[in-house]
Amino acid sequence: MDQYGALIYRVAVSVVQDPGLAEDVVQEVLVKAWTSMPSWQGDVPVRWLRRVARNEAISVVRRRRRLGGPAGLESRASGEPDVERLVEGRGEVRALREALGELDDVARTLLVLRETEGLSYEDLADVVGLTPSAVRARLYRARQALKGRLGGWDR
């Protein structure tokens, strides 16, 4: 948990877009990791965990959609004392989350893992089951779509 919990959480929240559901996904993945440790032979645990976290998160999203659960996520206060900056930051975070939410699951996962984890194209390809060149193309299209949705806002 200490070593990989944050990584699993980032993967999960990039797909489910809900902190509470992402925490549930982390718990499920850690249980699977605990029960599957002997079968990791020849595989790098972090790669295995990314794949399992993504797959579990996608399963949660599918179950949620089938049950008609809520979509999206409201941003939480960061505790910053400057109210104007806090409100402005919340608006930017909300806009980013909404723009990310409009992307398909693969594009959103690729963007989040590339930008937050700095994964290589090869590692990303392994996580989502595409070729590295397909990952490059999907990332380019996802960035263009995100840029178009966010308009003039720069990070």
Tens-digit pLDDT profile for the chain (155 aa)? 677 778 888 888 888 888 888 888 888 888 877 777 655 555 567 777 888 888 888 888 777 777 765 544 333 333 444 555 555 556 677 777 788 888 888 888 888 888 877 888 998 888 888 999 999 999 999 989 888 887 754 44
Distance CA 69, CA 75 (A): 18
How do the domains of the chain map onto residue ranges? 1-71, 81-155
Per-position DSSP letters for 66-110, written without gaps between them: HTT------------S-HHHHHHHHHHHHHHHHHHHTS-HHHHHH
Does pTM surpass 0.75?
no
CATH domain 1-71 topology: Rna Polymerase Sigma Factor; Chain: A (1.10.1740)
Give the CATH number of domain 81-155; options: 1.40.20.10, 3.40.50.300, 1.10.1370.40, 1.10.10.10: 1.10.10.10
Distance CA 145, CA 46 (A): 29
**DSSP-derived 3-state class of residue 28:** helix
CA quadruple 6, 7, 8, 13: dihedral sign: positive
CA quadruple 33, 39, 41, 43: dihedral sign: negative
